[in-house]
Structure 1
Amino acid sequence: MEKRQVQYQFDEQHLKNSSKNFYDPSKLRTEEMVLNLGPHHPATHGVLRVEVLTDGEYVVDVTPHLGYLHRCFEKHAENLNFQQIIPYVDRMDYVASMNSEHAFAMGVEKMMGIDHKIPKRVEYIRVLVAELNRIASHFIAVGTYVLDIGATTPFLWVMRDREHILRMLEWASGARMLYNYIWVGGLYYDVPVGFEERCLEFVNYLKPKLQEFREMIIDNKIFVERTANVGVLPLSTAIDYACSGPVLRGSGVAHDLRRVDAYSVYPELDFDIPVGKGLMGSVGDCWDRTYVRVEECWESLKIIEQSANILLKEHKRDRTFDPQALVPKKIRPKAMDFYARAEGPKGELGFFMRTNGKSDIPERLKARSCCFCNLSVLPEISKGVLLSDLIAIMGSIDIIMGEVDR
């Protein structure tokens, strides 16, 4: 009996001593499992593989594998002259082709030193079509995002309204998505007669629709609970990863190249830069990023309305106006290294160009993809979240794989 009692006391003491290592519930880890997640979004094309290390329903670590699409944009561009590159630019972020064309054309014009000679009518038309495309891109981003987390009706609404934009851009350029409309030095063609009036009609049509969308999604209790305080991106982390666009502005900083670089005719237009304020949760969460995109649609409507009115009143249509008057027959800039950038719907889209002064084909052309940088931050904001929240975080970044793996 005495031996048994001693043995019992020994076992009890052994449990107390070893509890720090094995019996502490806070340090007890269950069996971890590696999952291949995705694709879950129409823009990933089955080529974004997210390797997730899970512990039950919780995410321990995330590794996004960004490649496997291989558009080879840069190598294509190094075998074409500058005007021929524009259709390839369209195919990077193909839901915002006008914005990509605008960035590339302005970059080549600055490199050639003819940016200050572009007619005002051309500049306002460029801004008009680019902002229409910005709204269409944000509609895809927000519409598919709410579809990812369980809502169907808003997706149908935004696709209905996006169709109006695509038809107008097709009316102007002849193409539905890949436009080849903004050329170096000008435009493919002037906008059709009545285009400006149609844009003003669209602004009046979309304003109440956007208000409905805001009430149904942004202020929706279920949407707020699914996105507020989820995937919080601190401003310092966003800067470290070179994030831009709504992903950066959702973290609270008003960094927009349309204001910072003041390119084209944006300095002459009145619009605000929405930023995340943590109205429903923490600054930089999924809700803030979505809020910024919806508010940017309102600001784009302001720009469209102002641009259309200016085209109708100040820079009117003229039979003598030739949108291709400054389009050079051959682009042969001096030997230099040059970088140009512009604000796309998803962030800073930049182009690095190296020329030798002897050829109209760039020796090197590198695209700085905002989607690539934004997606790279995914592991930093996904650790410790629930698996269902990881889907919400991925959708809030808004990526197009054609630009990620270019």
Structure 2
Amino acid sequence: MSFHQQSEPTKYTSETLKSEEMLFNLGPQHPSMHGVLRLEVITDGEIVREVVPHIGYLHRCFEKHAESLNYAQIIPYIDRMDYVASMNSEHIYALGVEKMLGMTEKIPKRVEYIRVLVAELNRIASHFIGIGTYAVDVGATTPFLWLMKEREYVLRLLEWISGSRLLYNYIWIGGLYYDLPLGFEEKCIEYLKHLKPKLDDLENLLINNRIFVSRTANIGVLPLQTAINYGVTGVMLRASGLKWDLRKVDKYSIYEEVDFDIPTGEGKVGTTGDCWDRNFVRFQECKESSKIIEQCLDKLTKEHKRTRDFDPQALVPRRIKPPQTDFYFRGESPKGELGFFFRQNPKHKKGDIPFRLKVRAPSFCNLSVLPYLAQNTLLSDLIAIVGSLDINLGEVDR
């Protein structure tokens, strides 16, 4: 062909237009990847064909540690699983051991109301970080900074109680580390007055924001039957339309004595069970938790007041020796159903150390549905889907 001779234009067909599939890793260095999560992603252009999650190694080894510690010593290790909701994990574990020992009815009411009070405070803090970091995932920085400021109020209250910001070791088997500090109830009531208008601001600033709705509505839709088949629990299950909350279903602790609703996804701006619904349910649960806290404070200041002879550790036995049996207890953590399976072996010489302790971690189970949700979505939507799961890798890689 001479220099001046022009070639004929290329004729594009459906075969030539079809792009080649590409395999690449998303995370853990990506700012929207949680902890050490790595996603092996197969794409066809901008379309995600397949996702394989690799959960990495956080070296928690909780279940193995539990085989060499007595029941009381295990609590600080539980704090390090879902480290943004440690109070909830401690509460469920302590209730499980107490029920296994048959001492549930002996726990003083004041202890139970304090436990629920701090657990619901921690639930709000957990949902704030879940919603706030999700805003960053979909491209908004302001709501994240604003929610971190609001979360700080909760952390200061919990630090006042326990002396720690995240890993509390406050709820003990048979009681508490210590009673509420003097003046805590009044400060908590002040916080609730501060929180109510802030939740309304959050709804306007983020949840109903047009850009946020367009990035999350009809994205990552999880049908109810699929959620049940995958064993999904917590906010993700309720966002798909099922009113299933273990605080209501199993009625453990004093949750039967307080009034609160179970928010569910309704498909208000998109399809029931999408990314928007999951964040909407988390937001609504913050309102319900504030109702529970208000009722607990009312009981603690009127019916179950502090007394000089109140000992929050009165029922803690020196050595916890449960019966030789298999036992399972579950509760509602901010991420979903957190369950502990205890096994005592009659041949095990150390009777105060569990022969086996298995954890049913909600983040681990909820992550299993990601390959289903990510199929045939846009690559940009994959980040929105991962963030909507609100997983904690300390709980996934135990």
TM range (shorter): over 0.9
SS state at 1:307 partner: helix
Match of 1:403?
395
Runs of 5+ unmatched residues, structure 2 = 1-11
Matches within 5 A, 1:279-358: 279-356=268-345
d(CA) in 2 for partners of 1:188 and 1:41? 37
Match of 1:386?
378
Alignment check: 8 A CA contact 1:61 1:383 kept:
yes
The one-letter code of the counterpart of 1:403 is E
d(CA) in 2 for partners of 1:264 and 1:227? 36
For the pair 1:245 / 2:234, whether they are aligned, the reply is: yes
Change in Cα spacing, 1:273 to 1:49, as seen in structure 2 (3 Å) is: same
SS state at 1:390 partner: helix
Match of 2:369 among 366, 374, 377: 377
Alignment check: 8 A CA contact 2:32 2:387 kept:
no
Matches within 5 A, 1:3-402: 29-39=18-28, 40=30, 44-45=34-35, 47-356=36-345, 359-402=351-394
Superposed displacement of residue 70, structure 1:
2.7
d(CA) in 1 for partners of 2:32 and 2:386? 12
Superposed displacement of residue 379, structure 1:
0.5
Change in Cα spacing, 1:318 to 1:42, as seen in structure 2 (3 Å) is: farther
SS state at 2:380 partner: helix
Aligned residues: 383
d(CA) in 2 for partners of 1:366 and 1:129? 25
Alignment check: 8 A CA contact 2:32 2:383 kept:
no
Offset from partner CA, 1:111-141 (integer Å, 9 cap, x none): 0000111000000000000000000000010
d(CA) in 2 for partners of 1:71 and 1:266? 31
Alignment check: 8 A CA contact 2:231 2:365 kept:
yes
Deviates more, 1:348-357 or 1:310-319: 348-357
The one-letter code of the counterpart of 1:389 is D
Change in Cα spacing, 1:193 to 1:43, as seen in structure 2 (3 Å) is: farther
d(CA) in 1 for partners of 2:72 and 2:32? 30
d(CA) in 1 for partners of 2:88 and 2:162? 14
For the pair shown, the structure with the greater C-alpha radius of gyration is 1
The one-letter code of the counterpart of 2:370 is L
Alignment check: 8 A CA contact 2:233 2:336 kept:
yes
d(CA) in 1 for partners of 2:164 and 2:396? 24
Offset from partner CA, 1:275-331 (integer Å, 9 cap, x none): 000001000000000000000000000001110111000000100100001111110
TM-score normalised according to structure 2 size: 0.94
Q: Among all aligned residue pairs of Structure 1 and Structure 2, give the percentage whose two residues are the same amino acid.
A: 66
d(CA) in 2 for partners of 1:93 and 1:162? 16
d(CA) in 2 for partners of 1:376 and 1:327? 38
The one-letter code of the counterpart of 1:87 is P
Change in Cα spacing, 1:194 to 1:99, as seen in structure 2 (3 Å) is: same
Alignment check: 8 A CA contact 1:41 1:395 kept:
no
SS state at 1:44 partner: coil
Change in Cα spacing, 1:315 to 1:42, as seen in structure 2 (3 Å) is: farther
d(CA) in 2 for partners of 1:41 and 1:207? 31
More helix by share: 1
Change in Cα spacing, 1:349 to 1:366, as seen in structure 2 (3 Å) is: same
d(CA) in 2 for partners of 1:347 and 1:323? 28
Offset from partner CA, 1:380-402 (integer Å, 9 cap, x none): 01111110000000000001100
Alignment check: 8 A CA contact 2:42 2:48 kept:
yes
Superposed displacement of residue 56, structure 1:
0.6
The one-letter code of the counterpart of 2:380 is S
Change in Cα spacing, 1:271 to 1:164, as seen in structure 2 (3 Å) is: same
